[in-house]
């Protein structure tokens, strides 16, 4: 039936009147309704972000047992309440629908994607049985652990597990990270770690390739420091960015210096040439707190050695450096004068300079500029991070099997003549597995790492994977490498577990933060720290006795008793239980301020000074050369130490010889293929959201 306009208006009027009358009378249903529902239970739980290694303090809003928001902790000294984009979206990790829900065992072919759920008891028993079998055969060294982000005590726990079990094979990811930077600091200052910087008080920043406001740890702190350097102080600091790419940092700097890739050391040494030639260096600091600036004579051997001064004056005049780097000669001279006459100044550069074939020498050369102008252990300069006063680890219980395994060579040849300085060689593991290593690998444990994604040429890993009899992954996600595992023991996310986090070198003074579960584990997952402790107990014997803790939370409590005993910092309590209560409420312990000019802390080298001429490097290569001589003594013609050293230098493809090996110098980057045919170089970089 058609509805006319008149009929429609009548119906509308009647409906409106009915509605108005209905509102005059109370509804029986409304009268019987319950009172307004009780407000939801809400709390803010302190935690530590793990979207990158920076260790920013966070507060997680939890409503009725569900995490709903992440904000920065305004009291945490690293980020002071701010977070980068990755930090804010941490809930996506917790509630990701693709998380692995519990232990799984492969039932199909490797990489086929067929799995079955099993219990934690069955999973841990399976691993323990296999590892007991390796020990029974006297082959504990055939176990390898590959790891990535070992925050807090996890790195030490993995090392302890391997020490007690037997193998020397903890292969971390440092060789594809910024290990070149850490090695350079060890060779010049005696500590194998990254440097801290007093950004807030520097007046001149000469930055070689570091993404200062893009992806350098801790990013949030650096962004705040950038604003402080530019606007929040009477003197506006000058920032000069040296790198081939016009990055975000370069765009925000006062000056961008384009440079040929891999020539950072040459530029730094050209700047040093001008500073030394014009006597702009801090002569008092160089005389009192450095070694190897001038030529010197070895008291034991009587041998004369070249000094850094002679090296830079003879080999790195600005004209030659300009030809190498592409930076104009006049610019090199100007930068040198600015850097030396605007104290305090910092020469910095992490991944951009160090993640290359010549990375260690790049960083040594850059760091030498800080020593020249006296910017070490001073306000506005480069500082050495203090660690928190944690309780020492108890002694590992070693049986004869563990002692025997520990005498085996590392599977990656780290620390040998093949890789003299490396502590770990992550990227070459496929070749080691495929036959270049000293023995066949049997069992591989993967923690916080995904080598099939993190290293070039995935085909190498595809071949290597097939040669590994047994693979266990602790990943909470089915990543590229975990897809090939035999067993998955999924980790909790960082919002579900107990975990500590010692900050990356940055502030100088010690800071340690605490992760604690903001919600109960959503699935049948388990903190890998708990799983390792339980696995050790199931292996039994001396391995079990090396792990006296019930779980990882108890381990953390034991370690932080040292903080309570120190009776300093932002938490001072009469009893440890009271300390622990405040620690969980605040989420961190810190003990500012930083003590400048602490030379004993800043220099751990043989000379107790900054070393332009690295005695640590000299001693390491001498030690390796002597070992090679011993190996050849049974042969008809044994090597001399000089010949053995030459073999080592040729093996690592070092062009320098003599004293230059132990001094900061320019080594050309090594090309794969014909440079004439392939003149362009791939320049990778990171953004804040990477």
* Tokens describing residue 187: 């060779």
Asked whether the predicted pLDDT for residue 37 surpasses 80, the reply is no
* Tokens describing residue 630: 């011993």
Greatest C-alpha distance within the chain: 120
**Do residues 515 and 154 make contact, with C-beta atoms less than 8 angstroms apart?**
no
Give the E-state strand segments of 21-56 in sequence order: 42-48
Task: Give the confidence band of 633 by pLDDT, cuts at 50, 70, 90.
Answer: confident
Domain with CATH 3.40.228.10 in the chain: 196-383
* Sequence-separated (6 or more) residues with CB below 8 Å from residue 159: 170
Give the integer Cα–Cα distance in Å for 187 and 611. 7
* Tokens describing residue 80: 């002071």
Asked whether the predicted pLDDT for residue 1 surpasses 60, the reply is no
Residue 551 pLDDT: 98
Q: Which residue has the tokens 């940092």?
A: 249
H helices of 216-282, where? 219-231, 248-252, 264-277
Neighbours of 673 (CB within 10 A): 7
Query: Is the peptide bond preceding residue 335 cis, with omega within 30 degrees of 0?
Result: no
pLDDT (average), residues 643-659? 94
What three-state secondary structure class fits 419?
strand
Task: Give the CA distances from residue 60 to residues 86, 87, 523, in Å, rounded to whole numbers and listed in that order.
Answer: 14, 11, 19
* Sequence-separated (6 or more) residues with CB below 8 Å from residue 673: none
The rounded percent of the chain whose pLDDT value lies above 70 is 94
φ, ψ at 631 (rounded to 5°): -65, -30
Pick the closest to residue 474 from 423, 402, 535 (CA basis).
Answer: 535
Domain with CATH 3.40.50.740 in the chain: 102-183+395-489+526-548
* Tokens describing residue 68: 């709903």
Mean pLDDT in the chain? Answer: 92
Asked whether the predicted pLDDT for residue 550 surpasses 70, the reply is yes
Residue 34 pLDDT: 59
Task: Give the CA distances from residue 123 to residues 117, 162, 490, 526, 531, in Å, rounded to whole numbers and listed in that order.
Answer: 10, 19, 11, 12, 10
Asked whether the predicted pLDDT for residue 7 surpasses 80, the reply is no
Task: Give the confidence band of 28 by pLDDT, cuts at 50, 70, 90.
Answer: very low
pLDDT, tens digit (0-9, with 9 covering 90-100), for 380-392 = 999 999 999 999 9
Q: Where is pLDDT greater, at 80 or 634?
A: 80
Pick the closest to residue 141 from 568, 432, 476 (CA basis).
Answer: 432
Give the integer Cα–Cα distance in Å for 592 and 386. 10
Displacement of CA 421 from its chain's centroid (Å): 18
Domain with CATH 2.20.25.90 in the chain: 42-94
What three-state secondary structure class fits 296?
strand
Task: Give the CA distances from residue 313 to residues 188, 274, 279, 316, 612, in Å, rounded to whole numbers and listed in that order.
Answer: 20, 8, 12, 6, 14
φ, ψ at 257 (rounded to 5°): -110, 100
Identify how many contiguous H helices and E strands the chain contains and give both numbers: 28, 23
CATH code of 102-183+395-489+526-548, in short, is 3.40.50.740
Residue 63 pLDDT: 97
CA angle 377-382-385, nearest 5°? Answer: 80
The rounded percent of the chain whose pLDDT value lies above 90 is 79
Asked whether the predicted pLDDT for residue 24 surpasses 60, the reply is no
Task: Give the CA distances from residue 100 to residues 94, 406, 524, in Å, rounded to whole numbers and listed in that order.
Answer: 11, 34, 9
Q: Where is pLDDT greater, at 40 or 45?
A: 45
Give the integer Cα–Cα distance in Å for 159 and 536. 13
What three-state secondary structure class fits 237?
coil
Give the E-state strand segments of 138-278 in sequence order: 143-147, 170-171, 196-197, 204-208, 238-242, 255-257
Q: Where is pLDDT greater, at 674 or 319?
A: 319
Give the integer Cα–Cα distance in Å for 585 and 45. 8
Give the integer Cα–Cα distance in Å for 611 and 292. 6
What three-state secondary structure class fits 541?
helix
Q: Checking phi first, is residue 16 left (phi over 0); if not, alpha (psi -120 to 50) or beta?
A: alpha
- Annotate 433-489 with DSSP letters as a single string: IIIISSS---EEEEES--HHHHSS-HHHHHHHHTT-SEEEE--SS--TTGGG-SEE-
* Sequence-separated (6 or more) residues with CB below 8 Å from residue 152: 499, 500, 501, 502, 512, 556
Give the integer Cα–Cα distance in Å for 123 and 117. 10
Task: Give the CA distances from residue 162 to residues 126, 368, 433, 570, 615, in Å, rounded to whole numbers and listed in that order.
Answer: 18, 37, 19, 35, 31
pLDDT, tens digit (0-9, with 9 covering 90-100), for 193-208 = 889 999 999 999 999 9
Give the integer Cα–Cα distance in Å for 258 and 256. 6
Pick the closest to residue 652 from 417, 361, 428 (CA basis).
Answer: 417
Task: Give the confidence band of 232 by pLDDT, cuts at 50, 70, 90.
Answer: confident
**Do residues 380 and 203 make contact, with C-beta atoms less than 8 angstroms apart?**
yes
**Do residues 433 and 441 make contact, with C-beta atoms less than 8 angstroms apart?**
yes
Tell me the whole-structure pTM to 2 decimals. 0.91
* Sequence-separated (6 or more) residues with CB below 8 Å from residue 660: 306, 311
The CATH architecture of the domain made up of 42-94 is Single Sheet (2.20)
The CATH architecture of the domain made up of 196-383 is 3-Layer(aba) Sandwich (3.40)
């Amino acid at each position: 039936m058609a509805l006319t306009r008149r009929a429609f208006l009548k119906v509308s009027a009647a409906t409106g009147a009915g509605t108005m009358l209905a509102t005059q009378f109370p509804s029986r249903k409304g009268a019987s309704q319950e009172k307004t529902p009780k407000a939801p239970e809400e709390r803010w739980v302190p935690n530590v972000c793990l979207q990158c290694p920076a260790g920013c303090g966070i507060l997680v809003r939890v409503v009725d047992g569900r995490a709903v928001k992440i904000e920065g902790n305004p009291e945490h000294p690293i980020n002071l309440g701010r977070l980068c984009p990755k930090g804010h979206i941490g809930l996506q990790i917790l509630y990701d629908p693709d998380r692995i829900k519990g232990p799984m065992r492969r039932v199909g072919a490797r990489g086929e994607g067929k799995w079955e759920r099993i219990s934690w008891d069955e999973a841990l028993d399976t691993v323990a049985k296999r590892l007991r079998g390796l020990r029974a055969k006297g082959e504990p060294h055939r176990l390898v652990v590959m790891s990535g982000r070992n925050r807090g005590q996890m790195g030490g726990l993995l090392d302890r597990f391997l020490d007690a079990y037997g193998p020397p094979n903890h292969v971390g990811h440092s060789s594809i990270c910024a290990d070149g930077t850490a090695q350079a600091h060890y060779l010049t200052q005696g500590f194998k770690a990254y440097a801290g910087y007093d950004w807030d008080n520097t007046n001149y920043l000469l930055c070689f390739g570091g993404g200062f406001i893009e992806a350098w740890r801790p990013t949030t702190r650096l962004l705040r420091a950038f604003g402080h350097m530019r606007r929040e102080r009477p003197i506006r600091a000058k920032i000069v960015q040296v790198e081939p790419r016009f990055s975000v940092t370069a765009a925000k700097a006062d000056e961008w210096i384009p440079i040929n890739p891999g020539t950072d050391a040459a530029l730094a040494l050209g700047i040093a040439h001008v500073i030394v030639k014009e006597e702009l260096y801090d002569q008092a600091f160089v005389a009192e707190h450095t070694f190897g600036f001038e030529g010197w004579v070895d008291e034991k051997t009587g041998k004369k050695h070249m000094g850094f001064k002679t090296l830079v004056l003879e080999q790195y005049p600005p004209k030659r450096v300009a030809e190498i780097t592409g930076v104009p000669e006049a610019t090199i001279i100007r930068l040198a004068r600015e850097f030396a006459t605007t104290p305090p100044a910092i020469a910095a550069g992490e991944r951009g300079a160090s993640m290359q074939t010549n990375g260690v020498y790049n960083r040594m050369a850059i760091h030498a500029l800080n020593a020249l102008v006296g910017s070490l252990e001073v306000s506005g300069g480069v500082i050495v991070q203090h660690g928190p006063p944690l309780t020492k680890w108890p002694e590992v219980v070693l049986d004869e099997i563990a002692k025997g395994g520990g005498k085996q060579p590392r599977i990656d040849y780290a620390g040998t003549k093949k890789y003299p300085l490396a502590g770990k060689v992550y990227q070459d593991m496929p070749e080691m597995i495929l036959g270049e290593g000293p023995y066949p690998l049997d069992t591989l444990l993967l923690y916080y790492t995904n080598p099939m994604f993190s290293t070039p040429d995935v085909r190498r890993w595809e071949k290597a994977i097939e040669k590994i009899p047994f693979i266990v992954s602790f990943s909470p996600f089915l990543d590229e490498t975990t897809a090939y595992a035999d067993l998955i023991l999924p980790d909790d996310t960082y919002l579900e577990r107990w975990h500590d986090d010692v900050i990356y070198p940055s502030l100088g003074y010690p800071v340690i933060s605490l992760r604690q579960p903001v919600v109960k584990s959503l699935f049948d997952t388990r903190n890998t720290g708990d799983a390792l402790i339980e696995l050790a107990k199931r292996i039994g014997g001396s391995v079990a006795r090396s792990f006296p803790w019930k779980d990882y939370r108890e381990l953390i409590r034991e370690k932080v008793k040292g903080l309570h005993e120190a009776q300093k910092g932002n938490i001072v309590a009469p009893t440890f239980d009271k300390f622990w209560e405040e620690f969980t409420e605040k989420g961190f312990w810190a003990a500012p301020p930083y003590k400048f000019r602490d030379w004993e802390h800043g220099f751990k080298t043989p000379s107790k000074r900054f070393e332009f001429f690295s005695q640590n490097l000299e001693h390491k290569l001498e030690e390796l050369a002597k070992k090679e001589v011993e190996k050849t003594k049974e042969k008809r013609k044994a090597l001399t130490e000089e010949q053995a050293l030459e073999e080592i230098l040729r093996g690592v493809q070092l062009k320098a010889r003599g004293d230059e090996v132990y001094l900061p110098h320019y080594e050309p980057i090594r090309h794969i293929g014909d440079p004439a045919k392939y003149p362009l170089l791939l320049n990778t970089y990171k953004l804040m959201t990477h």
